[in-house]
Amino acid sequence: MESSINLVVNTLSKIRFSRNKVFHFLSKNAKLWKLYTIVILVFLVFCHYKINNEGLIYRYSSSFQIKSALDINSLDNLLNNYIPNSKNFEEISFTNFKASSLSKKIINNNNLFIQSYKSKYSYHLGEPLELNSIFGITINSDAFQLIDTKIYLKQTSTDSIRITISFDEDVLSQYNYQNNISRDLDIAVNDTTFNVKIGKRVQNKYFDFTINKMQSLNQDINYYFKFKDLNKLSDEYNSLIKVWNESENFYISCEGKHYLNIKKYIDELTKGYLKYHEDEIKLKISELTSNLSKSNKALEDSLSIHLKKEKGHFHQLIIDNINQKYDENLRLLFKANQLKKRNLFSLRTISSKISPVENKRFYYALYMFAGISIVFIYANLFFLASNFLNRSINSIIKVKKVIGKNTFFVLPKMSRKIKNKIFCDSSSFFSQRFEYISTYLTIEKPNCKTILFTSTLQGEGKTTSSLKLATYLTQLGYKTVFLSLDLRKHNPLINKLKNKEYLGFLDYMDDQTLTSKDIIVNFEVSECDNDISKLDVILPNGTSQNSHILLSSDRLKALIIELKNLYDYVIIDTLPVGLFSESRFIFNQIDLIFYLIRFDYSNYQFTKFSIEDSLSKNEEVLFLINDMKEDYIYLNGIASRQFYKRGYFAKKH
């Protein structure tokens, strides 16, 4: 029983740990989630567009018979080799059905690249309209530059239609460039709208058509047609064509949105394929007639030579054979010329039908849209919940909202190794930031000699930052004293300083005979033996619950004035102003305030309220953003993560 309880407890603790990890990931990657949201929204719009434009797909199927139109038995054996009968015709490969040249020729000759749509936004928008028969459109050579350009039609009256060409200059320029077309785009772009009378022929540089009727069009809906690219349309049709044969019948099918276009394409392709084979055979027959003519010319020359010789029985046999061959060639030549003028095959359509088919692409897009939508909704709800629960300052946007237009410095998160040797370290990125802040103060704020560190809550890095700044100012050669007025909490960092018995700030406040020099102690850090470790410090030497009385006393004010006369810089560590208001009592004696904000720790609303409540506009304030993620810290335009362990910050070997 006890083991079972332990198992449950361990499992629950793991679940909680996993949940905390997820929460930590979400709260730490707000920028990533914003990017994710944008990508998902774009993808959802794309899915919706694909669904909206797929519409219905139609399949046109046709079966037919191809037979020889000639009586094979009546042909000479030589010609019979050129004309396939119904049996061996079945064995002919149908790969040429998908010949791009034949496909493009049929599409172009029958204007099948003109496809019509209605522009009303609905889930049936993609369902194409068969308006080509109404418009009777043919295009001119310049119209091919308008590939995929929408040409809108709107009925303005019972006998008039407005046509608007929706140009996209960039697309048009790109198409012209890719196809090496030189053209004045301004003329084309300006010629975009004109009216057409029903029944009247319209001719311009793009197309030639007559609108015969418009009763099938809804006046509440805009219609448009587009010219499709011949190469793409041919490849699309050919990829969807299926051809097979059973017994003496041949079957062909193709799928597409414009079913009348598909029907016409397949019918014309079948005829074109038949014509293609006829032309191949007639070409061979033409070669045969040419060879027969050459043969007869050679026979004539040979006959004339033999006729000039003395006649004998042997010569007579040769002459008879030449005449016989000559007559046979003439007979074949006559029949071959007759074949070239006739249709060699007969085509008989057995059946044909058009039927809508299940659009798999439509359902794929629909399922993808639904799935991504669900993931998107749940992910964003989880993300919003995590942001709601995590009210800390965890982004640079929140930082700027809290501090306004005030100047701020960022400090990276310290590793445990650096934190243990905070006073000795001088090469880490954290220490280099304080070197920069020290230089900034000496150059930009030369009159700010009394500097106070405060924050909203405890644990935001006041003491560490103030001590670090004091050590660097000392290193720069400035006489600096560190005054600790955090009277309610013992500072654990002071334990790292070698010390003997000493008098502190509380002793100074109790004993009126003590002077400032009596409580100033020069400390050295035990782990360090360089000049950075030496620092003049005034410690509390205990804790007090009456800090509001002590910090508002005239004796403290006198101490600060005396220290300002003795030192170049007086660095004061005080209580968090968000928790204890007594720190404000000495603000009027301070030249500069450093307000600490700990990234992903300080409460957003509380910090904002504390800053607005405790700091006046007359006080000069700089902000330190502590524990900032490396992604937000840049030096010379390069993210610190990329060079943190290289160059100036490399490990010394």
Task: Calculate mean pLDDT across residues 407-412.
Answer: 85
Strand ordering across the sheet containing 193-197:
114-118, 223-227, 150-157, 160-166, 193-197
Q: How many CA atoms lie within 13 A of 448 on its CB side?
A: 22
Q: Are 98 and 238 in contact (CB under 8 A)?
A: yes
Residue 191 above 70 pLDDT? no
CA distance 440 to 449: 13
Tokens of residue 483, six digits: 């005054």
Task: Calculate mean pLDDT across residues 492-520.
Answer: 74
Angle at 491 between CA 460 and CA 629, to 5 degrees: 25
Cα torsion at 587, 592, 593, 596 (round to 10°)? -170
- Sign, CA dihedral 578-581-583-589, equals positive
pLDDT of 244-275, one tens digit each?
777 777 888 888 878 788 888 888 888 887 78
CA distance 426 to 418: 10
Tokens of residue 426, six digits: 């001088």
Task: Calculate mean pLDDT across residues 216-221.
Answer: 58
Of these ranges, 280-289, 299-308, 315-324, 451-460, the one predicted with the greatest mean pLDDT is: 451-460
pLDDT of residue 350: 85
Q: Are 114 and 258 in contact (CB under 8 A)?
A: no
Q: Are 144 and 222 in contact (CB under 8 A)?
A: no
Strand ordering across the sheet containing 569-573:
408-412, 621-628, 592-598, 450-455, 569-573, 480-484, 534-538, 521-525, 497-498
pLDDT of residue 635: 40
Q: Are 150 and 192 in contact (CB under 8 A)?
A: no
CA distances 57 to 122, 260, 346, 357, 548, Å, are 17, 12, 32, 6, 82
Q: Are 557 and 589 in contact (CB under 8 A)?
A: yes
Q: Are 90 and 249 in contact (CB under 8 A)?
A: no
Q: Are 278 and 349 in contact (CB under 8 A)?
A: no
Task: Calculate mean pLDDT across residues 76-99.
Answer: 54
- Say what the pTM is: 0.43
Task: Return the amino acid letter for 546.
Answer: N
Instruction: Residue 519: count other Cβ atoms within 10 Å of its Cβ.
Output: 22
Confidence of residue 569 (pLDDT cuts 50, 70, 90): very high
pLDDT of residue 451: 93
Q: Which helix (H) or strand (E) holds 442?
A: helix 429-444
Q: Are 380 and 37 in contact (CB under 8 A)?
A: yes
Pairing of strands 592-598, 621-628: parallel
Q: How many CA atoms lie within 13 A of 180 on its CB side?
A: 0
Q: What share of the chain is helix, strand, coil (3-state, %, to 5)?
A: 50, 20, 30
Residue 625 above 70 pLDDT? yes
- Collapsing DSSP states into helix, strand and coil, what is residue 15? helix
Confidence of residue 623 (pLDDT cuts 50, 70, 90): very high
CA distance 122 to 125: 5
Paired strand residues for 484: 573
Of these ranges, 314-318, 392-396, 446-450, 530-534, the one predicted with the greatest mean pLDDT is: 446-450
CA distance 226 to 139: 11
Of these ranges, 336-345, 381-390, 406-415, 447-456, the one predicted with the greatest mean pLDDT is: 447-456
Residue 130 above 80 pLDDT? no
Confidence of residue 450 (pLDDT cuts 50, 70, 90): very high
- Sign, CA dihedral 384-390-391-395, equals negative
CA distance 230 to 105: 9
Listed range (5-19, 426-440, 507-521, 595-609) with the worst mean pLDDT: 5-19
Helix boundaries (H) for 243-395? 259-308, 313-340, 360-389
pLDDT of 378-392, one tens digit each?
776 776 666 666 677
pLDDT of residue 54: 55
pLDDT of residue 160: 81
What is the Cα gyration radius of the chain?
Answer: 47
CA distance 622 to 642: 28
Listed range (148-162, 218-232, 433-447, 587-601) with the worst mean pLDDT: 218-232
pLDDT of 13-32, one tens digit each?
444 444 455 555 555 556 66
pLDDT of residue 242: 82
On average, the pLDDT of the chain sits at 73
Confidence of residue 571 (pLDDT cuts 50, 70, 90): very high
CA distance 360 to 201: 41
DSSP per position, 291-319: HHHHHHHHHHHHHHHHHHSPP-HHHHHHH
CA distance 166 to 652: 66
CA distance 346 to 348: 7
Q: Name the residue with tokens 């957003």.
A: 604
The DSSP secondary-structure symbol of 392 reads: B
Chain centroid, CA 645 distance in Å: 32
**Residue of 53, 49, 40, 35 lying closest to 373 (CA atoms):** 40
User: What percent of the chain has a predicted confidence (pLDDT) above 90?
Assistant: 3
- 301 CB contacts (<8 Å, ≥6 apart)? none
Instruction: Residue 192: count other Cβ atoms within 10 Å of its Cβ.
Output: 13
Burial degree of 541 (CB within 10 A; 0-12, 13-18, 19+): middle
Residue 594 above 60 pLDDT? yes
DSSP per position, 171-196: HHHHHHHHTT----HHHHHH--EEEE
Residue 485 above 90 pLDDT? no
Residue 133 above 60 pLDDT? no
